[in-house]
Structure formats: C-alpha cells, structure tokens
Chain A
C-alpha cells in the first residue's frame, strides 16, 4: 500500500492564482480530511468527508473547496490564493469515524507559498 499520497510536495503561487492540491489513499478509507499547519501551531481542519459524495466544513474553510467523487481521492482547491494561505497542508484518512477506527493516517504534506 502507498498509504496517503499528496502532490505536489512544494508549490509557489502568486496572489490570485488558483490551484488544486491532490490527495489519494489506497486503503479503502471512508473518512478523509484536509488540515493546514502554520509555523509553531497545531493542525487546523479545513474540510472533511465521511464518504464519497459527502463533504463538510471544518474550522477554517474559507477560500477552499473540496469534492469527493470517489473513495480514493479528495482534492483541495484554492480558489484565489492569498498570502494568508501560505502554510503546510496535510491530507489524512481513517477507516471510518467509529471510535475504534478514527486513527488518522497522514500524507507527507504540501508546502505552499503564496507571494
């Protein structure tokens, strides 16, 4: 199993540009999520999905869109990049959201810089 994969590893954008961060998992996990981590801080939940076709907002959803058309993929779209979105982005997945299943497996992260 490749686990959770994310592309790209690094990205530099100009203010106003849009882009999609890709996330895929091959563990047949139902639950997937996106976090951002700013320097010296913990992870903040952007969006999450409890299964294909279902998404919901987390703590900091503004400026981001997600969709979940398949179990495997959960892309994160930045609509119009702003310097405040400079961060490291982590995608994670878990088998489900039952208490015995919600250990999350994290991807390697995407370091995004917005100029």
Chain B
C-alpha cells in the first residue's frame, strides 16, 4: 500500500521565522512528488519534483527531493501571516494515482 507521511502535523511560528516541512513516502512506481497549499478551500499547486537534488524555488518557498532516502522538504523563509495554511504533499505513481499525506498545518503569528 502506498504511503505518504508528513511531519510535523502542526507548527506555530512568528513572522520572520524560517520553517521546514517534511514529507516521506513509500510508493510503488514513483513518478513525481508534488506540494500543494490549502487555505480553507481547494488545494493550489506549489511545486512538482521528479529528480533528486534539484531545488525548486518560488520566492520565499523552496523544495527538494531525495529519491534515495524517499523524502522531500519544503522550506519557507521569512514567513508571513499569509503563509498560514495546510501544506499537502502528494506522490504520483506511474499507475495514474496520487497519494496524499495528512498535511502540515502552519500558523504564522504576527
């Protein structure tokens, strides 16, 4: 059975802090790993990672994949209150299926 585990489950920080969110996985026929942000509504896409060691960046967010150790991290630097959300990690397989983790709830306090 495919499995995606995210940690921590929740995190409270203050504006300006840097956070690291973790995602580990065990799946058959890995295709890609995706990060989504969910703010009380539908998830929105952040990053897709398919190759080990190549960092993807978008502003203050960055992510990297380690296919040998089967994990990914999502970093957010200089956090803002608008970063408060649930961050979801999903792993896609060649079979056409996505398996999601339970998410990390990030709360950024002013």
Which positions in A face B, CB cutoff 8 Å? Answer: 31, 33, 35, 40-45, 48, 50, 56, 58-59, 90, 97, 99, 102-109
A43 CA / B34 CA spacing, docked (Å) = 13
13 more contacts with CB within 8 A, not counting A33-B98, A48-B97, A104-B43, are A31-B96, A42-B4, A42-B88, A43-B98, A45-B99, A90-B42, A97-B92, A97-B96, A102-B31, A102-B48, A104-B34, A107-B42, A109-B41
A113 to B: closest C-beta gap in Å: 18
Residue B66 interfacial (CB < 8 Å): no
Given the known inter-chain contacts A106-B42, A109-B41, please indicate yes or no for A43 contacting B100, CB distance below 8 A.
Answer: yes
Task: Give the distance to chain B from A3, nearest Cβ to Cβ, in Å.
Answer: 10
Given A90-B42, A109-B42, A99 contacting B31 (CB threshold 8 A)? yes
Instruction: Give B80-110 as 1s and 0s: 1 = Cβ < 8 Å from A's Cβ atoms.
Output: 0000000010101000111111110000000
A99 touches B103 (CB 8 A): no
Taken together as a complex, chains A and B put the C-alpha atoms of A58 and B95 apart, in Å, by: 10
